[in-house]
Structure 1
Amino acid sequence: MTREQFRPDDHPNEQFILSTVVGSYPKPKWLDRVRERYEESDDFDDANWEEATDDASRLITHEHERAGLDAVVDGEMRRNEMVEFFAERIEGYEFNGPVKVWGHNYFDKPSVVEEVAYDDSWLVEEFEFTNDVATKPVKVPITGPYTLASWCFNEVYDDDRALALDLADLVNEEIGKLVEAGARYIQIDEPALATTPDDHAIVGDCLDRIVAGLPEDVRIGLHVCYGDYSRIYPEILEFPIDEFDVELANGDYEQLDVFKEPEFDLDLALGVTDVHVAEVESVEAIEANIEKGLEIVPPERLTVSPDCGVKLLPREVAYGKMANMVEATRKVERKLDDGEIDARALREGATASADD
């Protein structure tokens, strides 16, 4: 089973609910100042920038471990925006300047000007560094091909589907190299699906290509945030993934019932802290949120994380959310072990309620 490999050897409870983060994390303020100097000054070279990002990656990886997470990332310290980072590394993309997306926010939206191609690895060095400094398993988030296709200007391909499928082949090649380097937990981020849910079949076809030839012990998660899940459920149950990652805390779990009928047979990665609220939820509140997940899947198929990336939060708030989430998770596990929580009763009660 792909999940059990992430249970710590010294895990204190019989039950194990996997705790992790979605990906991004607030960058240390000094790293933002260093980036400005790197981009604007001739006396700050690539070696200096690499040293700075190494330091930030080490710092945040250890911060995740100090919070007690079972699977960590480096907070994406080397990345800027989730599409730009990959478009800069894929042949066929070019940048022509930022475009306004909402309010006063701008996005350096790339264009595809020739057929996309794989040149050099995007994430292997990032993973190897994080894996070397971490004592916990490392998860690797990758922006998915559908989002990479949808959030750009397509000047070459007949449609976004054709572009997304070509990109899926490149993602498959990159994941193959990550697996060779030792990665066993890969998360595909597809936020664009939330805005165009009728394209779920394209995402499914892309995932078929992404997982082709991967070993069985590689865990593949799919993260989709801030959309109407009823428009892609139950179709997502046919996706070749181990885990479906959803944000529900922000909506006070109003969409939880979507996953009760038909039966949800994947692992569920549930957002149990709200990344849009710059306050640390109490351990008790997070425990209640975790129990919402037990209405859908048994503990051995539940992962908990924040709703989405936490990069826009104050760093002390982001850390507090993680630490309280881990504490709440361990408390729920103990209550399951002691019989204070009956997971089967929660699921059966939820199913009966959905049927009514």
Structure 2
Amino acid sequence: MTQDARNQFRPDDHDNDHFILTTVVGSYPKPKWVDRARDLYNDPEGDFDEKAWNEAKDDACRLITDEHERAGLDVVVDGEMRRNEMVEFFAHRIDGYEFNGPVKVWGHNCFDKPSVVDEVEYDDSWLVDEYEFTTEVAERPVKVPITGPYTLASWSFNEAYADEESLAYDLADLVNEEIEKLVDAGARYIQIDEPALATTPDDHAIVGECLERIADGVPEDVYLGLHVCYGDYSRIYPEILDFPVDEFDLELANGDYDQLDVFRDPEFTANLALGVTDAHTAEVETVEEIKANIEKGLEIVPPEQLTVSPDCGLKLLPRKVAYGKMENMVTAAREVEAELDSGEIEVGSTPVSADD
């Protein structure tokens, strides 16, 4: 782990000596007109063609990227405006997948769960165009979230491979290929999303091998993160510290930080991206509440190893609420930095290298 990879995201005009990196996990509420534009595009009797649909998505990406910058985030995402669902989006772009209709997952919610019917193969880039567009319209660094191979395998029907493990490894090789293209395009902050790990924590060794394949050949100046949410972290810690990533993005606010103690022993040697606002609550936390949450993160790592973000993607929240959470989060981080500078907050943790 190198702190130089993280420090490249510190703004040149940052006011405080300390720096707590602020970002979002990925997804963000879509403007309502995006759904209307999609319906028009999918209407066989309509005249809303592909050019108009692409223009609508471009406009949404501009709008949300600007919204992230207005909130003050150090690293922005386009809110995944071009993506419909975290597995479906990628499965449509990987040879070997096919779709046979939606599957009900909970309540009235459906997921167009894909099937792997043949050996998966890389065809064309998945995210480079998205990254290049966002970078062109953004004034701040851009993070690229990618659904990880273990989740892509676990949340699909496997009709072609002897086991899910073999499928995950082949998918990891494809993710590595995509990351190479993203790196060539200039991406320096890439986040692998593996929510399925929380539901099947005994497979952490499979995820670890997937990440070894993904990280193979990735330059040191590329900051790799892993997002895991809503699970029993004691079943994957400290084993995850051996994963070849710089940062672990963990959901803890939704559980009122009941699992914080998991990361005290042994000492947390990676960078921590801590969820400090609850993505499942349609209320904007106050600055003081978020500051208290940030200080919980400082019990585990020092400021130079801490990133703050919402617990998870914000796409299910009202857009006004999502923006309020981001804006208050940035204000809280800057106030905590100033209090660290003045000595009002004392840090119990000292920087730890994974090599120590």
- TM-score of the two chains, using structure 1 as the length reference: 0.96
| Runs (5+) with no aligned partner, structure 2 | 351-356
Are 2:146 and 1:142 equivalent residues in the alignment?
yes
Query: Which of residues 4, 12, 17 is equivalent to 1:14?
Result: 17
Query: Which of residues 256, 263, 272 is equivalent to 2:260?
Result: 256
| Alignment partners' CA distance in 2, 1:114 and 1:224 | 28
The 5-angstrom pairing of residues 118-137 of structure 1 reads 118-137=122-141
The 5-angstrom pairing of residues 262-277 of structure 1 reads 262-277=266-281
CA displacement at 1:50 relative to structure 2: 0.7
Runs of 4+ in structure 1 deviating by more than 6 angstroms, as ranges, are: none
Query: Which of residues 95, 101, 104 is equivalent to 2:105?
Result: 101
Amino acid at match of 1:9: D
Look up the match of 2:283: 279
Query: Which of residues 92, 113, 116 is equivalent to 1:112?
Result: 116
Look up the match of 1:38: 41
Query: Which of residues 154, 159, 162 is equivalent to 2:158?
Result: 154
CA displacement at 1:245 relative to structure 2: 0.5
| Alignment partners' CA distance in 1, 2:53 and 2:90 | 19
- SS of residue paired to 2:8: helix
- SS of residue paired to 2:5: coil
Aligned length: 346
| Alignment partners' CA distance in 2, 1:2 and 1:11 | 17
| Alignment partners' CA distance in 1, 2:345 and 2:105 | 45
| Alignment partners' CA distance in 1, 2:123 and 2:167 | 17
The 5-angstrom pairing of residues 186-335 of structure 1 reads 186-335=190-339
- RMSD between aligned alpha carbons? 0.7
| Alignment partners' CA distance in 2, 1:129 and 1:308 | 24
- SS of residue paired to 1:343: coil
CA displacement at 1:39 relative to structure 2: 1.0
| Alignment partners' CA distance in 1, 2:278 and 2:14 | 26
Look up the match of 2:5: 2
| Alignment partners' CA distance in 2, 1:40 and 1:150 | 32
Query: Which of residues 19, 24, 48 is equivalent to 2:27?
Result: 24
CA displacement at 1:233 relative to structure 2: 0.2
- SS of residue paired to 1:72: coil
Amino acid at match of 1:183: A
1:60-84: CA deviations, max 9, x gaps? 0000000000000000000001000
CA displacement at 1:45 relative to structure 2: 1.1
Amino acid at match of 1:282: T
Amino acid at match of 2:336: V
Calculate percent identity across the aligned residue pairs.
77
Amino acid at match of 2:276: V
Amino acid at match of 2:313: G
Look up the match of 1:169: 173
CA displacement at 1:43 relative to structure 2: 1.1
Amino acid at match of 1:188: I
Look up the match of 2:354: none
CA displacement at 1:328 relative to structure 2: 0.1
| Alignment partners' CA distance in 2, 1:245 and 1:205 | 19
| Alignment partners' CA distance in 2, 1:343 and 1:20 | 22
Amino acid at match of 1:193: L
